[in-house]
Amino acid sequence: MTILYEDRAILAVDKPPGWILGPDDWQHTKRNLSLILQDDVRYGEFWATSRNLKFIRFIHRLDGPTSGVMLWAKSQGALEQYSRLFATRGVNKTYLAVTDGIPQENVWRCRDPIGPEPGAPGRYRVDPDAGKEAETNFELLDVSGRQSLVLAKPHSGRTHQIRLHLLASGCPVAGDELYGRRDDGGLGLRAIRLEFRDPFTRRPICIDAPVKDFCWNYGFRVPDRVRELAARRDTAPPLPRLNSGAALDESSDEEDPNAGGEAEAQEPPFRAPKPPPPLRQSARPPGTFRQAPRPPRGSGRP
């Protein structure tokens, strides 16, 4: 798994498709990314010990079949601050989606509310009556046959938001087993960019994931619009102010409904005396953690 960005507080990785973040039980899945990384920290794998890591926890979620940029906290303090950043919509998120069908507009916005589908655990739907507000901006980048390459920028973090908003626009995400058709190529959705201001240093951070292979797998060239976006480093949003009673976005696992006023962030402790050595010094391939999952040591499970 490739590391895209790292500082004292966080680690950004390129999450592969098919890896989930729960349930927290090895009997249910062997592709639990959260347990793999926590296990590596617990048992002292080289990539973790070289960084003096004692803690690793995902800050936000990506659907199992979705690939791309994902942030992990290196300390409890970092987890709290970055979770609040996501919860107050202080992070700009950009995705690439391949759709079945061609949108009717080149640029459009979808504001359909989203809620759970009654009687269908794990499924959601556009629900104008009981759904929560949701908003996504879309931009058509290219067309190949009956498929389209679309840039998506969600302004809220509802579950399956991009997938449902594209379905409502008449062009479901390619390979979406829940809301479209199954495809051996997997789900055509990739998180390609996160932009935010470091809550500790307040400096702008832009993290990009590679897009070339994703585009080529579906017969698209990398659009100039995506190249231009990756070249921009000054688009991070301002740090949000969390006022008393502020509504928090469900995209964060660590929402704090009792927060009042803007908290002054304290930088988490950093005990490593030197920057960690590059991953290529380990026995694993350069830029990767583990190629295949394994159960925790001593579990007795095969």
CB 36 within 8 A of CB 101: no
* Model confidence at 121: pLDDT above 60: yes
What is the residue extent of each domain of the chain?
Answer: 1-87+241-302, 91-194+206-231
Task: Please tell me the predicted confidence (pLDDT) of residue 1.
Answer: 78
The answer to which of 11-25, 52-66, 115-129 has the lowest mean pLDDT is: 11-25
Share of the chain above pLDDT 70, in %: 76
CB 3 within 8 A of CB 287: yes
Rounded to 5°, the CA angle 159-162-163 comes to 85
Mean of pLDDT over the chain: 81
| Token pair for 173 | 């995400």
- CATH no. for 91-194+206-231: 3.30.2350.10
| pLDDT digit string, tens, across residues 193-225 | 999 999 999 999 999 999 999 999 999 999 999
Task: Please tell me the predicted confidence (pLDDT) of residue 236.
Answer: 75
| pLDDT digit string, tens, across residues 228-247 | 988 887 777 777 765 433 34
* Model confidence at 97: pLDDT above 80: yes
* Model confidence at 23: pLDDT above 90: no
* Model confidence at 88: pLDDT above 50: yes
145 contacts: CB under 8 Å, gap ≥ 6: 219
Helix (H, G, I), strand (E, B) or coil at 280: helix
Task: Give the closest residue to 132 by CA, choosing from 26, 248, 258.
Answer: 248
Task: Please tell me the predicted confidence (pLDDT) of residue 233.
Answer: 75
Between residues 24 and 56, the one the model is more confident about: 56
